[in-house]
Amino acid sequence: MILATHNSLTYMKPVKWWMRLLNRFSQCQTKTIEEQLELGVRMFDIRIRPYTHTISHGIVEYEGNVSEILSYLNRWVDEHDEAIFVRLCLENKSS
């Protein structure tokens, strides 16, 4: 069995002030990627906007750089010789 997290990057800070008000409904994770890995998570659900690659969940967008996170995960795999799975979803603002 593989341990996974849903909306794995929603621990990050929302981009706009009004999104912070909605964050209590859209935030699925409170642990960072590093903490999730330490807890045994090996499958990550990452949702981004088409074209901008902004991290999102519904109408809430989060600060963070997806390329840097994916690079970090690749380095982690190289260092630990263990598989990680990433479910990368394009998420529309209206979803």
Q: What is the DSSP string of 34-58?
A: HHHHHTTEEEEEEEE-TTT--EEET
pLDDT at 92 over 90: no
pLDDT of residue 80: 96
Angle among Cα 89, 85, 35 to the nearest 5 degrees reads 95
Mean pLDDT of 50-70: 95
Per-residue model confidence (pLDDT) at position 95: 47
For the segment 62-83, the average pLDDT, to the nearest whole number, is: 97
Global model pTM greater than 0.85: yes
